[in-house]
Amino acid sequence: MATRTILVEGDPALLKKSRRIVKFDDRLAMLADDMTETMYSGDGVGLAAPQVGVLRRLFVMDTGDGDGPVTFVNPEILSEEGEQRGIEGCLSLPGLVGIVPRPLTVRVRAQDVAGTFFEKTYTGLAARCVCHETDHLDGILYRQRSETVLCTLEEFEEQQKREREKSIRFAFMGTPVFATVVLNQLEQAGYLPSLVITQPDRPSGRGKTLTAPPAAVWAKDRQIPLIQPASCRDPALADALRELSPEVIVTASFGQYLPPSILSLPEKGCVNVHASLLPKYRGSSPIQAAILSGDKETGVTLMVMDKGFDTGPVIAKAAYPIDDEIDAGQLSLALAKLGGELVARELPRYLAGEITAAAQDESEATETHMLRKEDGRVDFNKSARDVHNHIRAMSPWPGAFAYLNGKRYKLLRSRVHACGGDACGAPGEIRVSGHRMFISCAEGAIELLNIQAQSGSAMCVDQCAHNFECGALFCGAEES
């Protein structure tokens, strides 16, 4: 391996579109190795071939997630979901940074240096890196994407400090992607937390690599003080909050119960972004509950927290329609964005005394439970509509599943199909018609669109329908 010279802004090669790679040989493998070595020597997380003067569609990436360096040949972004805004730099624009909006999640299809195709979904920093390097292949520098004038890191940190001083003094408590989407909306509105509190790093992936939660990554990217207590009863957390003396604490999908000692600390209390129209669907799985029930509308609620679970007075609500095809993961992103907008719009009014929080109507309250893996089990003795709702409610976690000939399959995506000549039979019975597969239910049938075999990869049914036998039965139990 050798270290190559990195081209810097001003070189015309960086503004040219790269050509597809058609020859997979030792020279290509050597180029990928050299680029990886060059990326590491520059303390980068990604490097595209045009940056070393080679106008071919190739980039390498290592975001430190435990997967090691990955080579992408002829990459193609298949889908994008969500939105993130964060600090970005580039080895070809040394010493400069800017705020760049990117998708929160991307699915990419590419080849490795041997020409083998692969597909993978990336989120957070990895999704940002994939988009940044793909831009290089199209002759686009991140300066063209930046929402801010590029500046040095020191200048950026000073600007961020001034922004925080102008904003409401608040702490934010949240952990997963839902929380970062809320934070993104607050940031866009000019509100940055003075402190972020999130869950500790946890082992993740097959390699059980210790991984920071998305909200922690978000805070680190912006140099915002971060605390990750194992428990909200940790004295260090209470001490940090007392020192900050926030006007309010905003929570969104934090994942821990807040004791009275924390609830009583801020001058204006703690407010929570809850993903339902309270008092309907209190608890930990309101998004899944709304889809399972076949609701046509859900929403988000900004509420003042009390010692109960989602029982406090309501500051404001915002409704959101539920499309027949949207799954829980997609709906979660949409509601997080809506929730962030709601906080940015209504929290200042609440703090100014322009809004009075109203008590919930206990007669209309409903509860949800924490999801378990077992909740993904599909029951084909229900109507096609109920089965379809179950599949999309369980996506992405815990995932809907059923058994066929003793083997477990994940049922990833479906649609309701009127039971006719293509699909009509006992509950769970398979009918294959060309490249399509239907599964009978107690009433009607579903058309299965995506499936994943045990220990296999997710597949479109039109690629594998021929492998399934007409008349075979999907069932909820392992024994068939």
List the catalytic residues.
46, 51, 90-91, 132-133, 136
Contacts of 329 (CB under 8 A, 6+ apart): 81, 395, 396
Q: Measuring CA to CA, which residue among 196, 154, 191, 190 is closest to residue 171?
A: 196
SS3 label, residue 210: strand
User: Distance between CA atoms of 182 and 476, rounded to whole angstroms?
Assistant: 37
- Asked whether 327 and 392 are in contact (CB, 8 A), the reply is yes
Contacts of 368 (CB under 8 A, 6+ apart): 281, 282, 283, 284, 285, 286, 288, 289
Residue type, 96: L
Q: What is the DSSP letter of 258?
A: P
Parallel, antiparallel, or unpaired for β 46-48 and 474-475?
Answer: unpaired
Q: Measuring CA to CA, which residue among 445, 394, 227, 40 is closest to residue 474?
A: 445
Burial 277-290 (b: 16+ CB within 10 A, else e): bbbbbbebbbbbbb
Residue that is written with structure tokens 């020859």 in the block? 23
Tokens of 83: 């939105």
* Cα–Cα distance list, 474 to 156, 420, 448, 459, 477 (Å): 57, 19, 12, 17, 9
Q: What is the DSSP letter of 324?
A: T
DSSP alpha helix (H) spans, 107-234: 125-137, 153-166, 177-188, 214-221
* Cα–Cα distance list, 235 to 227, 229, 230 (Å): 12, 9, 11
Distance of CA 239 to the CA centre of its chain: 32
- Measured in Å, how far apart are the chain's first and last C-alpha atoms? 54
Tokens of 140: 């686009």
User: Distance between CA atoms of 467 and 390, rounded to whole angstroms?
Assistant: 25
Residue type, 226: L
CB atoms within 10 A of CB 362: 8
Distance of CA 249 to the CA centre of its chain: 23
SS3 label, residue 26: helix
